[in-house]
Structure 1
Amino acid sequence: MTTTNSTVRFSNRVDDYVKYRPGYPTEIIDFLQHDYNLTTDKLIADIGAGTGISTALFLNAGYRVIAVEPNLEMRNKAIELLGTLPGFKAQDGTAEATGLDTGSIDAIIAGQAFHWFNAETSRVEFKRILKPDGIAVLIWNERKIASAFEKNYDELIIKHATDYVKVDHRNIDPEHIGAFFHPQPFQSAVFQNKQVFDFDGLAGRLLSSSYMPTKDDSGYEPMITDLRELFNRYQQNDVIAINYDTKVYVGRL
């Protein structure tokens, strides 16, 4: 992989992304409805929507969602998967230039995407498209690194990745989030999430990350060999779990 352009780097990973990326807990909806009165008549813009994982969470809860995604392959996959659902619309655009109307959006969501945005420019754009009392919701599934397997899995990623340390979403910490929402306050919440995989699923999950070698890269076979050894060491009943803290940051701009 030679490109670091966030708008194209997932183009060759769409199928793995759809199959193996984690969804988001439905408790996020309850949280936003309770704390921010985000009723289902509100219009949502999912910025950096990708294949529509976060879009689907809100569509399935009864919201109208505009999925804004610059990557053609990912946007087309979202249309394929979600196009028949009521309330769904897909649009080409970026966080910095969404193409949405001024003051038209009740809530912006960004699932596993904000770390790709230019925070300063996207803040101006978000503020433009949000209604006066609108909210921005930044969401990440953050892998836990607590158990022996989780620690070794992270070490495997660091060993074989191309630019994991550079793009790792753990670089988005409360200080960066606070700077984005400043001078307004923001609220955070954490929900538990997990995936359970056989070996093929674990390999697919690994390959869904943009910083890992693909099957066409020279580093692929050594990576898969290490992954097989890791799976065999820690699997129970031929499956293994990846646990996440789903972190949600909410505020007004």
Structure 2
Amino acid sequence: MSAPADSTQRFSSRVADYVRYRPDYPPALLDWLHGQIGVPAATPVADIGAGTGISTLMFLDAGHPVVAVEPNAAMRQAAERWLAHDHPQLSFAAGTAEATTLDDASIGLISVAQAFHWFDTEAVRPEWRRILRPGGMALVYWNSRLLDVSPFLSAYEQLLQDYGTDYNAVAERYQDDATMRAWFGDGLRGMVQLPNTQHLDFDGLRGRLLSSSYAPQAGHPRHAPMLEALRALFDAHAVDGRVAFEYRTRAFIGTLD
């Protein structure tokens, strides 16, 4: 599955919403990584497709030295403004998943979060093997929005179908469990699904929607009608001024031998 040529630039105009409204990852993810999988907290991490630094911060807070690899200048600069001052163990690289610019055998753990579905998943393998130390592993994980576990989420899914630009094409890029097991092959060391929830007021819900690459932006004929529909959806389903945006965080880890 290869990424479209402009995939590294899809979020350039959505950086502010991405920083503020995209979900982070549950603490149980690193509990699993450090505990059951046995990855030491001092392991150097390459966070590939780091974006605005949501996943990067998770590893920094756990004590890992991290190099954030991100080709999109606007997103990388947002991460630098947010994180660089308080985290001396953080560095940045303007590389891509297929050409990270990192040194040979310099990384103990590759972290790839939500960006994985944009990569050429075959082209990345030799590059990631090159930068990993012997025995190093790749951790691939993302938040999968639950589509129909509540009336709100069912209605939100319908809104995306009605107003999204290329929503179905983007949604179809996400890999299923069988695909990920095949991608790791005999190197797969573990997989887990963890609950994760955002509680959003209307501004949060609006920002979460507009952070998505398939949401039409201002000037598009579907933009204003989409926001009107979102307001109606929120008013119909909010409890105490918030809606619950529910996910499963899916994670896969293994070697790339």
Distance of aligned partners of 1:103 and 1:4 in 2 relative to their CA distance in 1, 3 Å threshold? closer
Cα separation, 1, equivalents of 2:42 and 2:10: 34
Q: When the two structures are superposed, what TM-score results if normalisation uses the length of structure 1? A: 0.95
Assess if the C-alpha contact under 8 Å between 1:106 and 1:130 holds in 2. yes
Task: Say if 2:176 is the partner of 1:173.
Answer: yes
Identical columns (%): 44
Cα separation, 2, equivalents of 1:32 and 1:195: 22
Distance of aligned partners of 1:171 and 1:144 in 2 relative to their CA distance in 1, 3 Å threshold? same
Q: Which of 188, 191, 196 matches 1:193? A: 196
2:11 corresponds to which residue?
A: 10
2:93 corresponds to which residue?
A: 91
Q: State which drifts further: 25-34 or 111-120.
A: 25-34
Partner AA of 2:213 in structure 1 = S
Q: When the two structures are superposed, what TM-score results if normalisation uses the length of structure 2? A: 0.94
Cα separation, 2, equivalents of 1:141 and 1:120: 22
Q: Which of 209, 214, 235 matches 1:211? A: 214
Task: Give the ranges of 4+ consecutive aligned residues of structure 1 lying more than 6 Å apart after TM superposition.
Answer: none
Task: Say if 2:146 is the partner of 1:141.
Answer: no
Assess if the C-alpha contact under 8 Å between 1:123 and 1:180 holds in 2. no
Q: Which of 108, 126, 129 matches 2:128? A: 126
Q: How many residues align?
A: 251
Task: Say if 2:22 is the partner of 1:24.
Answer: no
Cα separation, 2, equivalents of 1:185 and 1:239: 39
Q: State which drifts further: 208-217 or 46-55.
A: 208-217
Alignment of 1:216-227 (within 5 A): 216-227=219-230
Cα separation, 2, equivalents of 1:113 and 1:65: 17
Over the residues paired in the alignment, what is the CA RMSD in angstroms?
1.4
1:247 corresponds to which residue?
A: 250
Q: Offset of 1:98 from its aligned partner?
A: 0.5
Distance of aligned partners of 1:211 and 1:242 in 2 relative to their CA distance in 1, 3 Å threshold? same
Distance of aligned partners of 1:180 and 1:140 in 2 relative to their CA distance in 1, 3 Å threshold? same
2:40 corresponds to which residue?
A: 39
**Structure 1: unaligned runs, 5 residues or longer:** none
Task: Say if 2:255 is the partner of 1:231.
Answer: no
**Structure 2: unaligned runs, 5 residues or longer:** none
1:54 corresponds to which residue?
A: 55
Partner AA of 2:46 in structure 1 = A
Q: State which drifts further: 38-47 or 176-185.
A: 176-185
Assess if the C-alpha contact under 8 Å between 2:108 and 2:136 holds in 1. yes
Cα separation, 1, equivalents of 2:94 and 2:105: 19
Q: Offset of 1:182 from its aligned partner?
A: 2.2
Cα separation, 2, equivalents of 1:192 and 1:226: 28
Assess if the C-alpha contact under 8 Å between 2:114 and 2:141 holds in 1. yes
